[in-house]
Amino acid sequence: MATSTEQLATLDQAKEMGLLESEFDQIKEVLGRTPNFTEMCIYSVMWSEHCSYKNSIKWLKTLPKDGPHMLVKAGEENAGLVDIGEGLGCAFKIESHNHPSAIEPYQGAATGVGGINRDIFTMGARPIAQLNSLRFGKLDEDRTKWLLEGVVKGIGDYGNAFGIPVVAGEVFFDESYHANPLVNAMSVGIVKTDRIISAKAKGPGNPVYIVGSSTGKDGIQGASFASKDITEESANDLPSVQVGDPFQEKLLLEASMELAATDAVVGMQDMGAAGITCSTSEMSAGGGVGMDIYLDKVPLRQEGMKPFEILMSESQERMLVVVKKGKEQIVEDIFEKWDLNAVEIGEVTEGPQLRFFMNGEQVVDVPAESLVLGGGAPVYEREYREPAYYAEAQKFTINDVPEPSDLVVVARQMLANPNICSKRWVWEQYDSMVGTNNMSTNKPADAAIVNIKGSNKALAVTVDCNARYVHNDPERGTMIAVAEAARNIVCSGGEPSAITNCLNFGNPYNPEVYWQFVGAIKGMSEACSRLNTPVTGGNVSFYNQTVGEDGAAKPVFPTPTIGMIGVLRHQNLQATLDFKYKGDLIFLLGESREDINSSEYLHSIHGVLRSPAPSFDMDEELRLHGCIQELIKNNLVNAIHDVADGGLFVALTEMGLPRGLGFDIVTDSEVRKDAFLFGESQSRVVVSVVEDYEDEFIDTVGEHGVNLTLLGHVTRGKMVIDDEHYGFIDEAKKIYDNVIGDAMAH
């Protein structure tokens, strides 16, 4: 029982901290008494949506978690881990930093990058690649430009200084993200399977160390901040945004790698959301033990910090390490070498109690298990209801919109669309070559290819989600997101292995928002099961919505971002999307349909916001994957690129841009021309083939039962469709490359 002289917490304080009255009663029942103020702070962050997943865990448990390569299942450790052979594992995870980025975009994005990398290297894995998925409001809005500039600079400055390349990503603009941008960061690392570090505490009597930076007042109550709506008063939450230091993180990485090579570590965990509170409670509960922690031993940046401030701080570049008793000097020497703190602040106990002391006084005494996700944290089943807009969207048909008279003009408008155009302005600010692992720098492909040093294998990595599809049909839209990620891996020469996810939604208490969430989980489960790509973990981010002056909440598009990794069995399987030679034949694999549903074309050219998700059939998708893998293995294609946002015309243009080559194609007379060129029906891929290989290519495709269309051939630079001149590839490049840069300059 806590012996603190602190005042007992009140119901009003509990509510101010975001707890429900029923939760306050539950805490009193767990403790057998009324909690004091510091204990209430601990429960408020650990039972926040951000830490407890109390409104999502029921559905998350339905996701497929078993697969042929799994080393660590979802929720078991800091990140997912899959076996890639040769005694190596790949640790990877994606997380959001949406709310901090909405208030302070530079530090919000930077600390998101720092936090996700720490999740990887606390497992003993060295990060080798970063990816991100970014969503903003309309590009012509001043707020969007401010957010975009700050977020990109934050990611670039932190990642470049830390020394891990950003190898891939996506940027999407829609007014639903105007006030509440999405900043999802993914990190991928490699670890020897005999050097994996657990995030569980074990061994009563083992010392507990805090390592890395000192603790300050930045980020206090950050987890609670991430569990509420963005409002006009959210700027007052600026102290909840952490401040990052990539140079400290680089030192921490190297010290951690050195530590992983010793036998001194029992367990290690990043101090992310809820800082010392989260790391001590999760490590204790995970190992079925307790801890005694002495807060006055924690290295502080500021004098006079109160116990709750030390416990709640989300100061960056810190980790908790449980050390084998007797091996303390090994740990201290390593961190002294790297000029970092390594201070013993407590010890593992028999459990189950987590006790915190300050200057000889016990200020907290709570059962660790009662705090954590999967333990005593509350679990809720929320009501969900199909929104009226869904049925309205299903009524749309292509006959509702006229076909434009001048498709050449439309084609140029598509290339100038911020969601279609090159994101060069963004990625030029990232160092994509640091570390010399990136194999995609001069070999453009649908997924990024990352070298595994000392091996002939490589990783293929991607992030994908078309949130417009998900909004119009959460289940099918999320299936498409998973399928497109897998298609990108396959088109790059890899075999899809597993996914991580970042589930960005509005308020879970809104039945229509929760309906979107449930549909997305169902679609993800179906797609991952069929593709044999289990879910290794990830992040749920609710409350991504803005409450306006009228009090009405406006949620963002439901955005279940999919991060996927795959393995290239040999680096010579790497496939690229760029046309290679004039005269090569151009084929379309898959079936084009009279389908412009939810396409960028329908939205931006016709202004239609409601329509079904595009056509999609998982059986077709799986046949296509098998076909592509055999074509690449037998070296039968020169270029390969999936048809995605913007449709066939955009795919062809993107294939021509790298080498300045064009195309001369014929459309299908049985499909409306705008649908053929700009529709986004799924499971389609464009390939170029040397004429000498045409027969073998056609036979292979036929064996897999995949629909095949000869479109035309590669030209020296002219873009021709049905004998009509659509301009030259160099003209297209000027449009495509400069849209975002020009917008940001004005």
Work out whether strand 290-294 and strand 341-349 pair parallel, antiparallel, or are unpaired.
antiparallel
Instruction: Supply the DSSP symbol for 564.
Output: E
Task: Classify the C-alpha dihedral 504-509-512-514 as positive or negative.
Answer: positive
Catalytic machinery residues? 50, 97
Structure tokens at 191: 């670890």
The β-bridge partners of 265 are 323
What residue has token string 């201070």?
343
- Least trusted range by pLDDT, from 238-247, 555-564, 618-627, 735-744: 238-247
Q: What is the pLDDT of residues 118-166, one digit of tens each?
A: 999 999 999 999 999 999 999 999 999 999 999 999 999 998 888 898 9
Q: What is the pLDDT of residues 176-210, one digit of tens each?
A: 999 999 999 999 999 999 889 999 999 999 999 99
* Dist. CA 487–CA 665, nearest whole Å: 24
Q: What is the pLDDT of residues 257-299, one digit of tens each?
A: 999 999 999 999 988 778 999 999 999 999 999 999 999 999 9
pLDDT of residue 227: 44
**Contact present, 421 and 739 (Cβ < 8 Å):** yes
Structure tokens at 706: 């995949």
Return the number of other C-beta atoms located less than 10 Å from residue 446's C-beta. 28
Q: How far is CA 378 from CA 16, 224, 509, 609, in A?
A: 18, 15, 15, 38
Share of the chain above pLDDT 70, in %: 95
Structure tokens at 124: 């003993």
**Contact present, 363 and 295 (Cβ < 8 Å):** yes
* Dist. CA 153–CA 654, nearest whole Å: 26
Structure tokens at 209: 């160390």
Q: Name which of 83, 317, 76, 314 is nearest 200 in CA terms.
A: 76
- At 548, the amino acid letter reads G
The yes-or-no verdict on residue 243 having pLDDT over 80 is: no
Q: What is the pLDDT of residues 210-226, one digit of tens each?
A: 999 899 987 675 444 44
Q: Please state the φ and ψ torsions of residue 640, each to the nearest 5 degrees.
A: -150, 130
Q: What is the pLDDT of residues 50-60, one digit of tens each?
A: 889 999 999 99
**Contact present, 368 and 376 (Cβ < 8 Å):** no
Instruction: Supply the DSSP symbol for 7.
Output: P
Instruction: Supply the DSSP symbol for 124.
Output: T
511-531 vs 618-633: helix crossing angle, rounded to 10: 40
pLDDT of residue 657: 97
Structure tokens at 541: 């981010």
The β-bridge partners of 187 are 93, 130
The yes-or-no verdict on residue 236 having pLDDT over 80 is: no
Share of the chain above pLDDT 90, in %: 82
pLDDT of residue 453: 86
pLDDT of residue 317: 86
* Dist. CA 284–CA 320, nearest whole Å: 11
Average pLDDT, the chain: 92
Q: Span 705-726, mean pLDDT?
A: 97
37-46 vs 21-31: helix crossing angle, rounded to 10: 120
**Contact present, 693 and 686 (Cβ < 8 Å):** no
pLDDT of residue 435: 54
Residue 736 vs residue 67, higher pLDDT: 736
Q: Name which of 410, 687, 450, 404 is nearest 571 in CA terms.
A: 450
Q: What is the pLDDT of residues 542-599, one digit of tens each?
A: 999 987 777 788 999 999 999 999 999 999 999 999 999 999 999 999 999 999 999 9
pLDDT of residue 552: 81
Instruction: Supply the DSSP symbol for 716.
Output: S
The β-bridge partners of 560 are 503
Per DSSP, the three-state class of 585 is strand
Q: Span 32-46, mean pLDDT?
A: 95
The yes-or-no verdict on residue 540 having pLDDT over 80 is: yes
pLDDT of residue 383: 96
Q: What is the pLDDT of residues 444-479, one digit of tens each?
A: 999 999 999 888 999 999 999 999 999 999 999 999
pLDDT of residue 448: 95
At residue 20 the predicted structure's pLDDT band, cuts being 50, 70 and 90, is very high
pLDDT of residue 495: 97
The yes-or-no verdict on residue 229 having pLDDT over 90 is: no
The β-bridge partners of 93 are 187
pLDDT of residue 239: 52
HSE toward the beta carbon, residue 42, CA cutoff 13 A? 30
Q: In what order do the strands lie in the sheet with 361-367?
A: 265-270, 318-323, 207-212, 341-349, 290-294, 353-358, 361-367
Q: What is the pLDDT of residues 60-104, one digit of tens each?
A: 999 999 887 888 777 777 788 999 999 999 999 999 999 999 999
Interacting residues of 89 by C-beta distance below 8 A, sequence separation 6+: 71, 81, 82, 83, 125, 190, 191, 192, 193, 196
pLDDT of residue 204: 97
Separation of CA 296 from chain center: 37
- At 63, the amino acid letter reads L
**Contact present, 187 and 93 (Cβ < 8 Å):** yes
The β-bridge partners of 189 are 91, 127
